[in-house]
Chain A
Amino acid sequence: MIREIIMPKLGETMEEGYLSKWLKKEGERIRKGEVILEVMSDKTNFEVESQYDGYLRKVLVEPSDQPIPVTTVIGYISDSPDEPVPDVLQTPRIEPEKAVTTEKIDSKVQDAKTAVRGDEKIRATPIARKIASEHGIDLASVVGTGPQGRIERKDVENFIARASGPSSKVQTAEPSETIPFSPLRKIIAERLTYSKQNIPHYYLSVKLMVEQISKIKEIKKAEGVDATYTDFLIFLTARLLVEFPLMNAAVEGDRIRLYKSVDVGVAVGIEEGLVVPVIRGAAEKNLEQISNERRDLAERARTGKLKKEEIENCRFVISNLGMYGVTNFQAIINAPGTAILAVGAIQEEPILDNGLLKAGKTMWVTLSLDHRVIDGAYGGKFLQRLKSVVENPGQIYL
Chain B
Amino acid sequence: MREITYRQALNEALDEEMARDPDVFLMGEDIAIYGGAYGVTMDLLKKYGERRVIDTPISEAAIVGSGLGAALLGMRPVVEIMYVDFIGLAMDQLNNQVAKIRYMFGGKCTVPLTIRTEGGAGRTLGAHHSQSLEAWLMHIPGIKVVMPGTPADAKGLLKSAIREDNPIMFIEHKMLYNLKGPVPDGEYLIPIGKADVKKEGKDVTLISYSRMLQFSLEAAKVLEKDGISAEVVDMRTLLPLDMETVCASVRKTNRAVIVEEDTKTAGAGAEIGMRIIEEAFDHLDAPVLRIAGADVPMPKAPNLEKLAIPSVESIVKGVREVLA
In-complex A–B contact (CB below 8 Å): yes
Known: A130-B282, A152-B286. 11 other contacts (CB 8 A): A125-B254, A126-B281, A126-B283, A127-B254, A127-B282, A127-B283, A127-B285, A128-B285, A130-B283, A147-B324, A153-B254
Which A residues are in CB contact (< 8 Å) with B254? 125, 127, 153
Tell me if B284 is interfacial: C-beta within 8 Å of chain A: yes
Cα separation A146 to B323 with both chains bound (whole Å): 9
B324 touches A126 (CB 8 A): no
Which B residues are in CB contact (< 8 Å) with A128? 285
CB-contacts of B85-121 with A (<8 A):
none
Cα separation A129 to B285 with both chains bound (whole Å): 10
Cα separation A130 to B284 with both chains bound (whole Å): 10
Cα separation A152 to B286 with both chains bound (whole Å): 8
Interface residue count on the A side (C-beta < 8 Å): 10
CB-contacts of B55-97 with A (<8 A):
none
Q: How distant is A125 from chain B, measured CB to nearest CB, in Å?
A: 5
Write out, one digit per residue, whether chain B residues 277-305 have a CB within 8 A of any chain A CB (1) or not (0).
Answer: 00001111110000000000000000000
Chain A residue at minimal CB-CB distance from B321: A147
Q: Is the interface of A mostly helix, strand, loop or mixed?
A: helix
Which A residues are in CB contact (< 8 Å) with B285? 125-128, 152-153
Chain B residue at minimal CB-CB distance from A130: B282
13 contacts between A and B (CB under 8 A): A125-B254, A125-B285, A125-B286, A126-B281, A126-B284, A126-B285, A127-B282, A127-B285, A128-B285, A130-B282, A146-B286, A152-B285, A153-B285
Q: How distant is A146 from chain B, measured CB to nearest CB, in Å?
A: 7
Which A residues are in CB contact (< 8 Å) with B324? 146-147
Chain A residue at minimal CB-CB distance from B277: A126
CB-contacts of A81-129 with B (<8 A):
125-129
CB-contacts of A49-86 with B (<8 A):
none
Chain A residue at minimal CB-CB distance from B250: A127
Which B residues are in CB contact (< 8 Å) with A130? 282-283
Q: How distant is B80 from chain A, measured CB to nearest CB, in Å?
A: 45
Cα separation A107 to B52 with both chains bound (whole Å): 75
CB-contacts of B250-287 with A (<8 A):
254, 281-286
Cα separation A128 to B281 with both chains bound (whole Å): 11
Cα separation A214 to B324 with both chains bound (whole Å): 73
Cα separation A6 to B231 with both chains bound (whole Å): 41
Chain B residue at minimal CB-CB distance from A155: B285
Cα separation A130 to B280 with both chains bound (whole Å): 12
Cα separation A130 to B251 with both chains bound (whole Å): 12
Chain B residue at minimal CB-CB distance from A152: B285
Which B residues are in CB contact (< 8 Å) with A125? 254, 284-286
Chain A residue at minimal CB-CB distance from B287: A125
Which A residues are in CB contact (< 8 Å) with B284? 125-127
Q: Which of the residues A126, A146, A147, A152 comes within 8 Å of B282, measured between beta carbons?
A: A126
Which A residues are in CB contact (< 8 Å) with B282? 126-127, 129-130
Cα separation A6 to B63 with both chains bound (whole Å): 59
Cα separation A57 to B282 with both chains bound (whole Å): 30
Cα separation A188 to B284 with both chains bound (whole Å): 32
Closest 10 interchain pairs by CB? A125-B285, A126-B282, A153-B285, A130-B282, A127-B285, A126-B284, A126-B281, A127-B254, A127-B283, A152-B285
Chain B residue at minimal CB-CB distance from A153: B285
Cα separation A159 to B261 with both chains bound (whole Å): 40
Cα separation A371 to B146 with both chains bound (whole Å): 73
Cα separation A125 to B283 with both chains bound (whole Å): 8
Cα separation A369 to B96 with both chains bound (whole Å): 80
Could you say which of B283, B286, B324 has the most chain A C-beta atoms within 10 Å of its C-beta? B286
